[in-house]
Amino acid sequence: MAPQTPSPVASVQVMQALVARELVEGLGLPERKAAQLLGIVPSSVSQYLSGKRLGPAISSYFADERVRRVARRTAEQLLAGRPGSTAVLEAAIELTDRGAPGGAGREGPVDALRPELRRRVPGWLRQRIVGEQNAVAECMRLAQRSRDELTRALFRQIASDSLRHAEIVAALAPYLDRGVVSSPPTGISRAEVEALIRREHEAEATGEIDLGPELQGMMRILWESMESDEHKHERLLQLLLQAGLAEDGDAPPAPRSSTDRRRGEHRSS
């Protein structure tokens, strides 16, 4: 059976895997160089090539010549100096528009979500990836125009954040495709998360002075960016503690679909 067409955001990871394979196996680049061109870590390239990431389904896409042509063209653009994030996002949109290998096009929208969301999800996914693409492209353009390393670092960070946002939605998309609206954390214990929070606090407490107010201009902006990330990490870890972590890291109950959740709410009422 041919794989279903990935949603627009899920296709980002699919296209990353396809381009990584073209760069390494087709063009003979080392994995580290391929990762540099794609703007991802080398371990991600290794997982794409070994099938540990995305699984064996990626082989169906790689075996389809029309999809390979898109990946090959994107790989050549990266070698020519085009920013990897922009090229991959554009190729991902093209992959979604063309449909799955051997298929007639995109599958229907999410079935288990409420009807009003069912109508809106496909368009929202498309708009999100286009928005992230535009943000990445504009940030890379501004980074290239910048004349100092600190300003370039800021715009590269924003571009990286935008690409990461697309990857987060790509991770959410398969769950939405199945109608799943709640997924508990697994394999991690409360004690581990609480220990990580303590280590974060200890690291922050080692500073003898608050350097931020002493800085100005781009130095102050980058420092504030780092501090903002630390606050975000704290918030995410606290939310993780509230998400039903088991004491010993065992898996909590399986995630529920939106239909299951509404039924439970109806019974409780």
Whether residues 145 and 101 fall in one domain: yes
Same domain, yes or no, for 120 and 47? Answer: yes
What does the alpha-carbon distance between residue 72 and residue 15 come to, in Å, rounded to a whole number?
10
CA terminus-to-terminus distance, the chain: 42
The pLDDT of residue 247: 66
8 A C-beta contact, residue 79 and residue 38 = no
118-129 residue pLDDT tens: 667 666 766 777
Q: Give the closest residue to 142 by CA, choosing from 130, 154, 133, 131.
A: 154
Q: State if pTM tops 0.85.
A: no
Could you tell me if residue 241 is inside a domain? yes
The verdict on 171 and 195 lying in the same domain is no
Co-location of 56 and 117 in the same domain: yes
In the structure, what pLDDT confidence band is assigned to residue 108 with cuts at 50, 70 and 90? Answer: very low
What are the residue ranges of helices labelled H in the chain? 10-21, 31-38, 42-50, 58-62, 65-79, 84-98, 115-145, 149-177, 190-205, 217-241, 258-268
- Does any domain span residue 148? yes
Q: In terms of domains, do 101 and 155 share one?
A: yes
Residue 136 covered by a domain: yes
Position 3 in a domain: no
Could you give the number of structural domains in the chain? 2
Residues 165 and 71 reside in one and the same domain:
yes
Q: How far is CA 152 from CA 36, 159, 165, 170, in A?
A: 17, 11, 20, 27
Q: Is residue 5 part of a domain?
A: no
List pLDDT tens digits, range 2-30: 455 555 556 777 888 889 999 998 889 99
pLDDT in tens, 222-262: 888 888 888 888 888 888 888 767 666 544 444 444 445 44
Query: Out of 13-22, 88-97, 154-163, which region has the weakest mean confidence (pLDDT)?
Result: 88-97
Distant-in-sequence, close-in-space partners of 65: CB < 8 Å, separation ≥ 6: none
Residues 227, 173 within the same domain: no
Q: 234 is in which domain, residue-wise? A: 190-264
Residue 54, domain member (yes or no):
yes
**How far is Cα 44 from Cα 34, in angstroms, rounded to an integer?**
10
Q: Are residues 55 and 168 part of one domain?
A: yes
- Between CA 64 and CA 5 the distance in angstroms is 13
Examine the fold and report which residue of 178, 210, 237 is the final residue of a domain before the chain moves on: 178
- Domain assignment present for 77: yes
Q: What percentage of the chain has pLDDT greater than the value 70? A: 67
Q: What pLDDT band is residue 91 in, cutting at 50, 70 and 90? A: confident
Give residue 127's Cα distance to chain centre.
16
End position of a domain, from candidates 118, 153, 178 = 178
Residues 14 and 122 in one domain: yes
User: Cα separation of 20 and 209, whole Å?
Assistant: 44
Domain boundary among 119, 146, 178: 178
**Distance between CA atoms of residues 105 and 135, nearest Å:** 27
Looking at the structure, tell me whether residues 55 and 135 fall in a common domain.
yes
28 shares a domain with 103:
yes
**Does some domain include residue 269?**
no
Does 174 share its domain with 250? no
What are 173-225's pLDDT values in tens digits?
666 666 667 777 778 888 888 888 888 887 776 655 677 778 889 888 888 88
The predicted pLDDT at position 150 comes to 93
